[in-house]
Amino acid sequence: MMTLGQYIRQKRDEKDLSLSELAKKVECSVAFLSDVELGRRNPSDDVLNSIASNLSIAKEKLKEYDNRPGSIKELSQSSPQYTFAFRTMVDSNIDPKKIIKFVENENKKLKEQKAKRS
């Protein structure tokens, strides 16, 4: 399935708009919009609505491609383990920055392991 960023890029290309032209219309930086298209960053609802408007796409159509998990509540309903993990972190007074750093380090290790196998 196509990602949100891929879909935005496809529609931008169909409109024959450059990245900088769409960024200007959306009132965001070219770097940010590029990151959205590459799946590195996620747009806010306001930016997503502006992209939809400027590409003449229904915002609901764009949201079909937005496969990010929703709120903590939605995550906990999909898997109670998320609730347990989040509650454990909160009860332990773990600094959110340390959690993010831990996840980044784990992702780095996984990438290194994949590179070694290739």
Domain ranges of the chain: 4-65, 72-117
What percent of the chain shows pLDDT beyond 70? 92
Long-range contacts of 67-74 (CB under 8 A, 24+ apart): 67/1, 67/3, 67/4, 68/42
**Window from 18-22, 25-29, 95-99 with minimum mean pLDDT:** 95-99
Homologous superfamily in CATH for domain 4-65: lambda repressor-like DNA-binding domains (1.10.260.40)
Q: Specify the pLDDT at position 118.
A: 74
| Contacts within 8 Å (CB) and 24+ apart, 59-62 | 62/4, 62/7, 62/8
Residue 69 has pLDDT above 70, yes or no: no
pTM above 0.75, yes or no: no
pLDDT of amino acid 50: 96
